[in-house]
Amino acid sequence: EQIGSVAPELKGVVSDATGLPQKRYYRQRAHSNPLSDHAFNDPTKPSDADWSSVYPLLQQPEHADKQVEFLDVGCGYGGMLVELSPMFPTTLMLGIEIRVKVADYVKDRILALQHQHPGQYQNLGLIRTNAMKFLPNYFRRGQLTKMFFLYPDPHFKKKKHKWRIMSDNLLDEYAFVLQEGGIIYTITDVVAMHECMAGALQKHPLFERLGEDELRSDPIVPKLYESTEEGKKVYRNKAAGENHGDGDVRLAIYRRLPDPS
């Protein structure tokens, strides 16, 4: 079934069949050096951030004072955000992506979905920035309730381990922007990356791992596996015996503990 109309801004890049952007117009290298100097237009402090230009939901008076609560770090093509939006339609969700073309794709994907489904996907947003450097520029202390690190780049070479999105120092920043009781979700099919993320979280004094009963009762957990494009690729490759990781997908999900008194 063909889509009858598309957002005027997206004509020429969307599929006639789906009305969504086609990735062939957004080619991008798979890896980006997060330590290099990229050109970003980041606010100096959270109060300087203009979220009204990002979220149509904020145009509604009853939602005008809402703040971003869910953050997908390195959101890729936005699959997790799109999956969660109908589940939490009045919760502001943000994807952060460092790669220019991928960020452009997600912005256009959100715009296309909003055009196709009036009144829906109004809580989705994307900014291009470097999460390893600029989170405190956007978020106040204890603002976020959930953070997602889904199939992050493992940066296999030892000399590039400093590029990984999880480290002791970075966890201090994540603990700062995550409210007490907030949740960090991680998933990967690369055992070395799982050990990196779970190991850092496990030894950090402000995080504790969720138990199996809690995982089973969390409606988000089943969405972690294949909502993202990277997750879908992992399972396709696994079925074909071509998985680039270690074959098994591993979760590590942690709660932000209260600050010591």
Concerning whether 153 is annotated as a catalytic residue, the answer is yes
Q: Are strands 144-150 and 124-128 parallel, antiparallel or unpaired?
A: unpaired
Residues 260, 147: Cα–Cα separation, whole Å = 22
By CB atoms closer than 10 A (0-12, 13-18, 19+), residue 70 is: buried
| DSSP per-residue letters across 128-180 | E--HHHHHHHH--TT-EEEEEEES-----SGGGGGGSS--HHHHHHHHHHEEE
Residues 234, 250: Cα–Cα separation, whole Å = 12
What is the four-CA torsion angle of 143, 145, 151, 156, rounded to 10 degrees? 50
- Strands, E assignment, 88-143: 92-97, 124-128
Q: Are strands 178-188 and 250-256 parallel, antiparallel or unpaired?
A: antiparallel
Tokens found for residue 76: 């890729």
Determine which helix (DSSP H) or strand (DSSP E) holds 201, and give its type and residue range. Answer: helix 191-203
What phi and psi values does residue 20 have, to the nearest 5 degrees? -105, 155
Which of 104, 108, 153, 189 is the catalytic position?
153
Q: Which of 72, 217, 81 is nearest to 148 (CA)?
A: 72
Q: Which residues pair with 183 in a beta bridge?
A: 146, 255
Q: To which residue do tokens 């700062």 refer? A: 176
Residue numbers annotated as active site? 153
